[in-house]
Each structure stands twice: as structure tokens, then as C-alpha cells.
Structure 1
Amino acid sequence: MSSFITDKFLLKSSYAEELYHSYAKDLPIIDFHNHLPPNEIAKNKQFKNLTKIWLDGDHYKWRAMRSLGVEEKYITGKASDEEKFKKWAFTVPYTMRNPLYHWSHLELKRYFNIDEQINEKTALSIYNQCNDLLKTPQYTTQGLLKMANAEVVCTTDDPIDNLKNHQDIAKSKFNVQTLPTFRPDNIINIEGVEFNTYVDSLSCVSGIKIKNLESFLEAIESRVQYFHDNGCRLSDHGLSYVYSEKFTDKKVDSIIKDRFNDKALSDKEISIYKSAILFYLGQFYANKGWTMQLHLGPIRDTNKLLLREIGINVGVDSIGDYQHAESLAYYLNKLNDDGSLPKTIIYNSNPSDNDLFATMAGNFSEGGTKSKVQFGTAWWFLDQKDGITKQINSLSNMGLLSCSVGMLTDSRSFLSFTRHEYYRRILCNIFGEDIKNGELPNDIPWIGKIISDICYHNAKSYFNFQGLKSKTSKPQIVIDK
């Protein structure tokens, strides 16, 4: 059966084809948010087989297999890698109209030059062809990033990480800039059972004895500086919603001391603490010229049985229905009033919040900066054709799509960079349809410039990546996390 991944894939007009192939296709990729393991990049890891690179850790695929009734032993269990892949190949034909169908065939085509459709009959042939290629020198983590035309990748890293892997990459001849991102969830989640242990680790790596709010903030700021010295230019927060309680330093100091002494905190006290720490973190980011990312709205780990048996991030999360408008407006405005609002990207997991987030982003502008607060591209459950289209339309209707910093993978997979191609094709098709329908002029050079900006140039400028060189600090004490 012939491939459906052709040059015209997702492009419904000659205008769309010209926009994609002339202005988007060959641009480098700036992947400013992902969950790639930096140790695997530093070690230039070579994967044992297709299951290891394609299925391990991919909760999107796990979720689809479970929905089809595949037994857990073929997903995260003790079945062999070949058996697991065969079950995935069995699943793929049933994923039609799910983005996994498009993504999987795009990845096979772009990385392995395989046009066959994945199913039970082709499973073994595909598995063996890919495994043969994975043994060759170019199919390492670094080789795959070069193959994807990646220019910058930003990993997601805990504040107590010593960043040695990033330092090793920076000192190597690998020319894809690999930068850390500051992800302080463990600092914010004061209700976590390991919070006090984590604070001890933070104290150790920062060299600051943490005993109150003042010393706690001093230790956090020292880690922000350490990350900055190692090339970090973004932070990231995974939150159900933004916390926006009024607080005083005296009250927050009291809450922290109570937690250090293992006293139970009320929900109100937890919310006050998180509101304060989020505010101070925003100040730190602004002082460094960083971009703050706020990923808002999911419900995580809903299946407690699987959580106990397998752990977190296994594909049992959902879209939440939280109220965001007032708390998000309060938080951004408080930082703005303080003169400490960093460049910020807000992402929603619920599509019903598209217009809300698009209009919120437009409330806080600054001369000399295009869209200081960005409505981030479609995220998680929404990063499929319909979700991407709706995000683009909301941003077009409520703001300036031309200022968008574009797509990111938000993925743990080294094969997921075809999601940039997927986004670029959808973007070009939307503009192409508008030209075809007479809703936009047939001005290909100008519209092509807008598309090139969205796909690459806006991000490079917004994140200050031009000419950035990591200034590596001496590695600090390694903490067993």
C-alpha cells in the first residue's frame, strides 16, 4: 500500500505547498521545552532496538494500547522488547484519527525512510529494518538531533541538579546547543512528603543553611544564578492553576518554619506559601531576563492503582476544568506592578480556555518586545491537528499570530521532532486556505516571512538565543534524588 506521507501531506492547496516547502520546511528547530534526558545526550547514547527508543516512556502510546485492551505486560511489563513492539504495531491501525497515527508514520518516514504502514503484517520487517539502522553510528542521541535539524534544545531540570551533563555537552564538539530549564516543582510543593528532605538537598548544593524564608529565598536565587551561568534562559512550572493568595513575608516565614518542624499545614496555608514562592520566582526570572513558562490545568495520575504499581507519568492524566482567569490575572498583574514580570508563556490543557488564555496574554505588553506574554501553542492533549488549528485560530482572533514563538515537542522521545513538521504543515495550510478563499492577499513573500518568523525567528529573538554560549560553573555536589 502506498504511503500517505507525501510532499502534500496536510497541504490542501498550491499556496500551502509553496509556503511550507519554500518558507518553513528547512528552517532549523528551536525546541524550547522538552523532557529529553541530558545524560543520554551527553553520553551520545545508542539505543538497543526500536522499542527502547520508540515505546519506553511514551505514555501517549501506552494510553492507546490500554484503550485497545492490550495487557500491561506488553506495555510496561516483562514482555520482550520484540513482543512489545508487535503489540504496538497491532495497535497502530486502530489509532486512525488519533495523532499517534500521523506521528508514528512521520517518524518512520523521516528517521528510517520507511513508507510502509504499521500493522501486524509489517511489524517484524519494520522492527528489523529500524534495528539495523539503530546500530549504525549516525543513530545516536546526538545524531538524531542533528538529523532533525535541531539548533537549540532546552531540557527540563530540577534546581538541585549539578548540570554536569549540560557542561559536558557544552565542552564537546556537539553543535546542537543543549540548555537546562529551571523546573522548581519540588520547591513549590510544600505539601509533598519529601519536602523537608528536598530542602536539605537544596541547602547542601547551595551552601546556604536554610532555616527561614530569607535563607530559603537566598538558596533558590543562588540556584537560579547557577543555572543562568550554565546557559539556562527559561523556567517551567507544571501547575493545576496559578496560586494568587495575598501574603506577607511574616506569614510565609511562619508557614515554612511550621513545615520544617513537621507541623500539618492547612490548605489555605499551602496556597499562601505557593503564591509567595511563585511571586518571588517570577522576580528572580525577570532579574535574569528569563522566560517563565506556566503549564496549567491538567489532572495528573488519576488511576491510583497504576500509580502504585508503575509510578508517575504512565498515561493516566486528564484535562482539568479549573477556573484560571482571576488568579492568572492577579498573579501577572502583581508581578507587572512590581516591575518584575518576566517574559511569560501560558499554556492551557483545556481547549475551552483557548480564548481566555489568548486574551490574557494580550494584557501585558512592553515596548520593544513582541508579545511579552505569549499564548503557548497547543499542549499535551491538544497538540494534534484540531487542537493546533483551534489554538492558531484563537490567537489569530484575539492577538497577533505573527508574534508567536511557535511549536515545541514537550516530549521524552528523540524521534518526536517531527511534531515541528506537523505544526508547520498545519500552519501553512491554514494560511494557504485563507489565500485560496480570498481572505488573504496572494502575497507569498510576506506571508512566507510571517510563517518563517513563527517557525523559527521569533523564538530565536524572544529567548535571546543569538550567539548564546554557556558559561559553565564548577559542578556542585551531586545529590541522589
Structure 2
Amino acid sequence: MKSFIDNNFLLETEFAKELYHDYAKDLPIIDYHNHLPPNEIADNRAFENISKLWLEGDHYKWRAMRNLGIEEKYITGQTSDKEKFDKWAFTVPYTIKNPLYHWSHMELQRYFGIAEMLNPTTSSSIYNHCNELLKTSDFATQGLLKSRNVEVICTTDDPLDNLSHHQKIAGSDFKTTVLPTFRPDRIINIDKVDFVDYLNDLSTISQIKISDFESLLQAIKSRIDYFHTNGCRLSDHGLPHAYAYDFTEKEVNVILKNRLCEKTITDSEILKFKSAILFHLGRFYGKNKWTMQLHLGPIRDTNTSLLKSIGINAGVDSIGDFQQAIQLARFLNKLNENGSLPKTIIYNSNPADNDLFATMAGNFSEDGIKGKVQFGAAWWFLDQKDGITNQIKSQSNMGLLSTSLGMLTDSRSFLSFPRHEYYRRIVCNIFGNDVKNSELPNDMEWIGKIAQDLFYNNSKNYFNFPDNKVSN
């Protein structure tokens, strides 16, 4: 009987098998967007047990367990790590047809050499086997990254971060390049209750008193300069949609001053401020030759009860149905007209917007830059087999798949890197089926080159990564 997740998992044709094994399998990984904690990389954290490594902070798994009706105490509560693992082992068989079913068993195989299915019968033996391996240095954070041939990772970092952990990594002999990413959402969100407190902290760390819009921009620029010095070459924004409403600097200055005085501001004023900040951030990114990432479309923190008890990133987010096209086009166009449009990656969370985003990316180009504006990889709820396939179809039909930057993990888990393998297998299978159906020529050398570009070369050439880890 053919084993589950064997060497040719997801590969349906001989062409796909050869393409994956000879051209894709051994390429290094450039993971240009994830949420791994840099302090755990810097300290080379060793995990006490597999629950700490596998379940801690993973809201994908939390959602699945909640959907099965498992009590919260076994998910984020105070029960033992073994009890939490047993509940996850109980859950896994019920995730069949969910990407977690594939991911979980791939992770057990790739990191721990476990080919058997995780379920209540195997839970204890798998738990004990993994825990024995976790006692070795190969299973601390740096060893885990090395084992998957991770060349570059870009973490997601608040502008207030002092980046000391990145500096520690850069000064070490760890081979994987770990770079920060500038995530200024809290500067944009003037409507949040903690906005004024956040700007006070920004004033402190930048040593610039923020009293008006001009001083806010100076403070932001100082943090961008600091991040740049510490190797940052990407920014990221998690927004419901882009903001490109008409504003004047005078209007925005009044809006900010009123907010700093705790005065009420209107919905239209909120949109003007967000539009102004996002535009100026884009200008700064362009000047520094950074890549701007826009993750657009989700509804976040929908369950206020869990939000209050657990906090953000609890796994209670959803796909949104925002109107994306007009504001996104205006935002990108305004930066382009200003001569400031940076390299940009746009990600959508709603599959109904695939064609929209694919066509939007093709509107803005620049001589000598391959795929300046990118339709980003299938993201969040879409980073599964169907979501990846549909994203590739839209990108192929509306643009040039050959310019794509490939996959990323967007994960908080050190065991998530087989998602790159998952993506590579899916893409190789798509190419293989097209060759079988005579929709593509049986040209392994050329298609192999295109595949290697997708999985590694395009990212290597697209991002303006520093030659050394940190140029202090």
C-alpha cells in the first residue's frame, strides 16, 4: 500500500516528479514574511516539549480545536502541555481535507522522521519521541532553521523595537540571515484607543517630541533610518484596504492635533489621516529602496470575549468583503505620479479578489525591474492547495507567473517551513499536468528554470537585501 506523504506526494505525473526532485527540492528558502520571534532565534531557544514548539501561539491549530468543541483550557489555558498535545492529537484526524492535516504530518515527517498518523492511539509515543529529539541542539531554533535550508527570514517588527535581538544574531556566526521588517500599523490607526499612548512612546524612542504632523513624520523617518541601518529592507501593513482619500497637509495637521488633545475626530477625518500617513510611508520606502507589503482584506478580532481573555492573534479573524480596487489603484498611482512608488507586494485575503489583485499588479512597472508590483502568494485562509492553485491561475491568466516571488510562511511557528515544500510540489504538479495535456511543451530545461526562478531566484534578485547582515 502506498504510504501517505511519500516522496511523490502531490506529484501526479513523471514530469512533475522530475521537476520537483531535480529542480525544486533542494533550493534554499527565502522566507520574506513571517512572525517568528527574533528573541527566540537570537537566544537559540530550546523547547521544553513538542507542545511548546508546535502549539504555542499557533492560531490555525487553535481554531481547529475550538471548531471541534474542545474546551479553551486545553487550547490556551493552564492545563499541562501533555494534555494539550493529546487534545491536538485527538483533533488532527478530524482536520481531514483542511491544510492542517497535510501540514501537521509533513512537519512530523520532515523534522522528526515520523511517518505514522497522529491520533489518540499514537499521541503518547509521538510526544515522547519528539521530546527526546528536542533535548538535542539540532532542535533548538537555529538548528530547526538550518535543517530546512533557510537562507533568509524577515521577521515582522514594531517601529518601537530596538532591534537588539537582530543585532545579536547579526553579530553571531549563525548562517541564516535574519532581517527586521517595519510594521507601522499602530501609527496609522488613529482611531484606536491606545493611539496617543503609542505616539508618546514613539516620541521617547525617537527623541522627537510629536506635537504636529511634521514632527510625526520626522519621528517616523528616524525609525525608518534606524531600521535601515539594522538591515531592514521591507515594510509591511495589515489593513482592511488601502487608504487614498483626498487630504491636505493642513487638514491632517489639525486632525492629529485634535487627536493628541483627546478630542473627537470624525470618520472622514480618520480616513484622511490614514491616507496621509500611508502615502508618506510609501514615499519613505521608495527613497530607501525598500519593498512595501500590503496585506489587505481580513476582519480581525471578531470575537470580543476571546479578545478580552486571550488578546490579539487569538484565531478569531475572518475573510472580509471590503471594496479594494479604487483605493488601492489611487494609492499606488499617487506614489507613482510622485516618483516614489517602491517595489510593492499586494496580498488579498478574499479569493473573490484574485483577478482584481492580479490585474492591479500589472498596472505599475518600471524599466529594468522584473515584476515591480507583485500579486503576493496565497495568504492566510488561502495558503492551502486550492487557494494556491487559484492564485496561480489568476496570476498566470492576468500577468506573468514567471515573475512571481513564490511562497512564504506568514507563521509564528518554527515548524512551518514545509509550507515552502508544499507550494513547490503544487506548482510542479501544475506544470506537470499542463505538459501531460500538451498545454505546455515537454521542455524540462526551460520549465525547470522557470520553477527555480519562482522558488528562489526571483526573490534573491528582487529584494534589496544588504550585502552583510547589519551595516552598523
Which residue does 1:58 correspond to in 2? 58
Q: Where in structure 2 are the equivalents of 1:229-244 lying within 5 Å?
A: 229-244=229-244
Please name the residue that 1:284 is paired with.
284
Aligned mates of 2:216, 2:3 — CA distance in 1: 57
2:130 and 2:461 mapped to 1: Cα distance? 37
Q: For each residue in 1:248-268, what CA deviation from the matched residue of structure 2 results, as whole angstroms up to 9, or x when unmatched?
A: 000000011001101011111
Q: Distance in 2 between matches of 1:12 and 1:457?
A: 25
Q: Could you say which residue in structure 1 is the equivalent of 2:11?
A: 11
Paired amino acid for 2:40: E
- 2:43 aligns to what? 43
Structure 2 distance, partners of 1:2, 1:91, is 24
Give the alignment of 1:372-383 within 5 angstroms. 372-383=372-383
Determine the structure 2 residue equivalent to 1:343: 343
* Mapping for residues 195-234 of structure 1, pairs under 5 Å: 195-234=195-234
Mapping 1:439-454, distance limit 5 Å: 439-454=439-454
1:404 maps to 404
Q: Structure 2: how far apart are the matches of 1:397 and 1:341? A: 25
- How much has 1:3 moved relative to structure 2? 3.7
Tell me the distance in 2 between the aligned counterparts of 1:431 and 1:441: 10
In structure 1, distance between residues paired with 2:77 and 2:435: 51
- The aligned counterpart of 2:363 is 363
CA apart distance, 1:208: 1.1
Q: Deviations over 1:251-301 (max 9, x none)?
A: 000011001101011111010000000000000000000000000000011
Return the letter of the residue paired with 1:71: E
Query: Partners of 1:56 and 1:433 in 2: how far apart?
Result: 38
Structure 2: runs of 5 or more not aligned: none
**1:468 shift after superposition:** 4.0
Corresponding residue number in structure 2 for 1:326: 326
Check whether the contact 1:206–1:223 (CA below 8 A) recurs between aligned residues.
yes
Give the CA deviation at 1:210. Answer: 1.2
SS in 2 for 1:314: coil
Give the match for residue 420 of structure 1. Answer: 420
Q: More deviation in 435-444 or 193-202?
A: 193-202
Deviating beyond 2 angstroms after TM superposition, the runs of 4 or more aligned structure 1 residues are 464-469
Report the 3-state secondary structure (helix = DSSP H, G, I; strand = E; otherwise coil) of the residue aligned with 1:254.
Answer: helix
Paired residue for 1:116?
116
Amino-acid identity (%): 68
SS of residue in 1 equivalent to 2:390: helix
Aligned to 2:178, the other structure's residue is in SS state strand
Match of 2:262 in 1: 262
Structure 1 residue 465: Cα displacement:
3.0
Task: For 1:64 and 1:250, locate their aligned partners in 2 and report how far apart those are by CA, in whole Å.
Answer: 49
Alignment CA distance shift 1:402-1:466 (3 Å): farther
**Structure-2 separation of matches of 1:468 and 1:427:** 32
Taking the aligned partners of 1:242 and 1:381, their CA distance within structure 2 comes to 20
CA distance in structure 2 between the aligned counterparts of 1:206 and 1:466, rounded to whole angstroms: 24
SS in 2 for 1:138: helix
**Which shifted more, 204-213 or 173-182?**
204-213
SS at match of 2:138: coil
The aligned amino acid for 1:63 is R
Structure 2 match to 1:98:
98
Q: Secondary structure at the match of 1:26?
A: coil
SS in 2 for 1:393: helix
Q: Which moved more, 1:375-384 or 1:312-321?
A: 312-321
Match of 2:135 in 1: 135
Of 414-423 and 304-313, deviating more is 304-313
Instruction: Decide whether the 8 Å contact of 2:231 with 2:466 is kept in 1.
Output: no
Question: Does residue 394 of structure 1 match 2:399?
Answer: no
Alpha-carbon separation, structure 1, partners of 2:442 and 2:209: 64
Contact 1:2 1:115 in 2 (8 A): no
Q: Are the counterparts in 2 of residues 3 and 116 from structure 1 also a CA contact under 8 Å?
A: no
Contact preservation (8 Å) 2:27, 2:456: yes
Q: Partner residue of 1:86?
A: 86
Segments of 5+ residues of structure 1 without an aligned counterpart are: 473-481
TM-score (norm 1): 0.97
Q: CA deviation at 1:201?
A: 1.1
Q: Corresponding residue for 2:354?
A: 354
1:41-77: CA deviation from partner (whole Å, max 9, x where unpaired):
0000000000000001100001001111111111111
> Helix, strand or coil: the match of 2:220?
helix
How far did 1:148 drift? Answer: 1.1
* Alignment match, 1:184: 184
Which residue identity lines up with residue 142 of structure 2 in the other structure? Q
SS of the residue 1:231 aligns to: coil
Given that 2:286 and 2:343 are in contact with CA atoms closer than 8 Å, whether structure 1 keeps it comes out as yes
SS of the equivalent of 2:181 reads coil
How many angstroms apart in 2 are the aligned matches of 1:2 and 1:128?
27
SS in 1 for 2:156: coil
Which amino acid in structure 2 is aligned with residue 175 of structure 1?
Answer: K
CA–CA distance in structure 1, aligned partners of residues 366 and 455 of structure 2:
22
Q: Is residue 296–residue 348 contact of structure 2 (8 Å, CA) maintained in 1?
A: yes
Tell me which residue corresponds to 2:71.
Answer: 71
Does the C-alpha gap of structure 1 residues 397 and 468 become closer, same or farther in structure 2, counting only changes over 3 Å? Answer: farther
Alpha-carbon shift at residue 395 of structure 1 (Å): 0.2
| Cα distance, 1:103 vs structure 2 | 0.1
Is the CA contact (8 Å cut-off) linking 1:244 and 1:327 kept in structure 2?
Answer: yes
Q: Does 1:28 align with 2:24?
A: no
| Aligned ranges 1:145-160 → 2 under 5 Å | 145-160=145-160
Q: Which amino acid aligns with 2:416?
A: S
CA-CA distance at 1:451 after TM superposition: 0.4
The corresponding residue for 1:171 is 171
CA contact (8 A) 1:3 1:117 kept: no
Secondary structure at the residue paired with 1:18? helix
Measured after TM superposition, the shift of residue 2 of structure 1 is 6.8
Residue type at the aligned position of 1:369: I
Aligned CA distance change for structure 1 residues 115 and 156 (closer, same or farther; 3 Å): same
Aligned length: 472
Measured after TM superposition, the shift of residue 466 of structure 1 is 6.9
How far is 1:307 from its partner?
Answer: 1.0
Match of 2:126 in 1: 126
RMSD (Å), alpha carbons: 0.9
Q: 1:230, 1:71 → 2: CA distance?
A: 43
Distance 2:138 2:407 in 1: 25
Distance verdict in 2 for CA 1:466–1:209, change over 3 Å = closer
Deviation string 1:125-180 (CA, Å, 9 cap, x unpaired) is: 00000000001111110110001100000000000110000000000010100000
Query: In 1, Cα distance between the equivalents of 2:163 and 2:189?
Result: 22
Tell me the TM-score normalised to structure 2 length. 0.99
Q: Which one-letter code corresponds to 1:100 in the other structure? A: L
